[in-house]
Structure 1
Amino acid sequence: MPKKLLLGIIVVLIITNVATLLFWNKQDGKVAINTENAEVDVKEPVATVGEETISFDSWMNELRETHGKAELKQMIDKKIVTKLAEENDIKISDKVIKRELALLTGMQGPMSPKESEQKEKEWRKDIIYRYQLGALLTKGTTIPEDEMKAYYDTYKKQYNFSESMKVSHIIVSDMETAKKVKEELDNGASFELLAKEYSIDEDTKKDGGYLGYFQTNSQFLPMGYYDAAKKMEEGTYSEPFKSNTGVAIILLHSLLPDINFSYDEIKPYLQRELALDEMNQSLTTKPLWDKLDIQWIYGDKQE
């Protein structure tokens, strides 16, 4: 079977399944539309607007026409970068990955340990892809050593990560109430719901006690929070303790360590960053498509 035709068949199957999330049950004509296994009957309209209806088939056709090419291109891009990075022995240091993961964690709201684990897997793939792509685009370019060293001396703090924590809390006025809250937590009650019920911190109770993300040396972190957090595991809550805001129970979402780089450690990544800037090159795979034999149903080359 010709390679081009085979690719076409594969793509049609993938897109018809909407990136593997739609799976036909031929016996009852139902299809799962998300990872929670919510189902719709393919013989029934997927939406109605007054007396007008939208059929399942018209919805699928729109998805194929609107997103099919972009989805396939993204899949090809990932294959290109992975293959060329392997051929050129491009590896990304675990320390760089950890720093990027820490930065992304800080940008997110509270997550359960399970959610954090899943997000980290997704982020890790994206981080490696982005750094490997940068390395491939700048392969063979050079930046003068004195220029890199001067840049590092000026901006080295931006490559480091300071120990930080993400935390929720319940603040009550006395230890007796705090012990009652702790007992309810021990019996399986929701920290978020208890914060809404008991906390006297009006700024956070509506958000289930979510206080935010802080560097551990921040003056805005209440007294005793870091001392309690450094003894805890992520996803657990503390014993009640006295703070400057009342009697507190904290829920530790994450505690992220210091990550500091020497010049030699960050130099390869700094070189790529400066080279991309001098080349005025965005992070796109377009220059890499000619390096491999790529055939797809939309043509031999990228537009």
Structure 2
Amino acid sequence: MKSNRNLHQTPENIPYTQRRLKTKPTLLLLLVLFIGNILWFVLWLLPNDDSSSENDGSEPIATVDGEAITNQQWLAAMESRYGKETLRHLVNEAVMEKAAEKYKIKVSDEEIDLEIALLRSAQDANDTTLHSLSTEQLRQKVRAQLILDKVLTNDVVVEDDEAESYYEENQSFYNVPTTYRTSLIVVNSKEDAERVEKELKNGSEFDVLAREHSVDAASASLGGDIGFVSSEQASIDTAIFTVVQKLKEQEASKPFVLRDGRYAIAMVSEVMEGHSFSYGEVAEQVKRQLALEQLPPSITPEAFWAEFDAQWIYGEKKK
């Protein structure tokens, strides 16, 4: 198989790790609702005591014009809207753990660290997937994906010379720049920015102020978080990177002007030092990505449900 790939050509030629980040369904909603759905399933399994209104879910948890919305209605609505996909997510992770045991597949912390570093490097500024997950959620998601990738490519052979050629052609992808996990409060005027700065100095939390004052709706809803910023991101306002690279962790900036004329205050919550990965450090990862490119892109963990007798309440077991 010949290799003629370049990171800066068409989307089809972008390394699989980058494409996977941009094409995987957004997991934020599922993870946010994870706890609620687990609670629903626990309550669903527990016996009901019809004589007690405290245990049958009829107690009100909200009212509108005096009319109650009960705990039971709330849990049922969550299950109806999000329960199936959340349960699918849980079953898929369990299936992948079983597959790892059966095929004696190991995933090291170093492999997870490498994948996360490459994902950060490839992150699109408009993709909130990475910074919407906690560190543990992200590591668990990467682990499950690595198990799936290793299972799928277990019998695929990629020659060393092909892998080395790929690495040389796409070396810039493995030169991960220093990135700064950044939060922003964007306002319309210098006066607004100075008022926000004063509130910060008086002890107000940055994420709270972002939700209250930032006019950038997308980041405001996340407490100002815009993810990891680096010098390689053309879509990021250069004024932002110029400021954040001078900040220490947990340090907020002075107000500064964005290229659209609005004002912003930035805070850096985490600094991830850059690293240039040698071929030796990424050889297995490169071979795995090349092997994956030989397989249909639509394979999911559900393809293994039958093998591990996975069943769920939404229908028959997968075949």
Shorter-chain TM-score tier: 0.5 to 0.7
Q: Which residue of 2 aligns with 1:288?
A: 304
Are 2:144 and 1:129 equivalent residues in the alignment?
yes
CA distance in 2 between partners of 1:217 and 1:185 (Å): 30
Contact 2:184–2:267 under 8 Å retained in 1: yes
Q: Distance in 2 between matches of 1:259 and 1:82?
A: 30
- Aligned pair partner of 1:96 in 114, 132, 155: 114
User: Could you say if the C-alpha distance between residues 173 and 19 of structure 1 is closer, same or farther in structure 2, counting changes exceeding 3 Å?
Assistant: closer
The Cα offsets for residues 228-251 of structure 1, whole Å up to 9 and x where unpaired, read as: 31xx223x3246799999998542
Residues of 2 paired with 1:70 and 1:218: CA distance?
32
Q: Does 1:84 align with 2:85?
A: no
Distance 1:46-1:94 versus aligned 2 partners, 3 A rule = same
- Deviation for aligned residue 1:134: 0.5
Partners of 1:253 and 1:121 lie apart in 2 by 16
CA distance in 1, matches of 2:146, 2:121: 15
Q: 1:109 to 1:131 in 2, by over 3 A?
A: closer
Q: Which amino acid aligns with 1:149?
A: E
Q: Is the 8 A contact 1:168 1:253 kept in 2?
A: no
Matches of 1:159 and 1:187, distance apart in 2? 43
Residue equivalent to 2:294: 278
Distance 1:56 1:187 in 2: 42
Q: Tell me, which stretches of 5 or more residues in structure 2 are unaligned?
A: 1-34, 45-51
Q: Structure 1 length normalisation: TM-score?
A: 0.60
- How far residue 283 of structure 1 moved from its aligned partner, in angstroms, is 3.7
The answer as to 2:225 corresponding to 1:225 is no
Q: Does 1:302 align with 2:311?
A: no
* Correspondence for 2:275: 259
How far 1:281 moved relative to its partner? 5.0
Deviates more, 1:100-109 or 1:271-280: 100-109
Q: How does 1:1-303 map to 2 (within 5 A)?
A: 19-22=37-40, 23=43, 26-27=53-54, 29-30=56-57, 38=61, 56=73, 60=76, 63=79, 72-87=87-102, 88-92=104-108, 93-99=111-117, 102=120, 107=125, 119-165=134-180, 166-168=182-184, 182-189=197-204, 206-207=215-216, 214-216=229-231, 220-222=237-239, 225-226=243-244, 228-229=246-247, 232-234=248-250, 236-238=251-253, 250-289=266-305, 291-292=307-308, 294=310, 298-299=315-316, 302-303=318-319
CA-based RMSD of the aligned residues comes to 5.3
Q: 1:79 to 1:27 in 2, by over 3 A?
A: same
CA distance in 2: counterparts of 1:68 and 1:210, whole angstroms: 29
Conserved 8 A contact 2:244-2:266: no
| CA shift for structure 1 position 116 | 6.0
Aligned partners of 1:167, 1:280: CA distance in 2, in Å?
38
CA–CA separation in structure 2 for the residues paired with 1:117 and 1:210: 11
Instruction: Provide the rounded CA distance (Å) in 2 between the counterparts of 1:264 and 1:280.
Output: 28
Per the TM alignment, residue 276 of structure 1 is displaced from its structure 2 partner at its CA by 1.9
CA contact (8 A) 2:105 2:150 kept: no
- When Rg is computed on C-alpha atoms for both structures, the one with the higher figure is 1
Shift of 1:264: 1.9
Letter in 2 for 1:275: A
Number of aligned positions between the proteins: 258
Q: CA deviation at 1:133?
A: 0.5
Aligned to 1:252, the other structure's residue is in SS state strand
Offset at 1:185?
A: 1.9
Instruction: Please tell me the residue identity of whatever aligns with 1:206.
Output: V
Gaps of 5+ in 1: 1-16, 48-54, 199-204
Is contact 1:169-1:249 (8 Å) kept?
Answer: yes
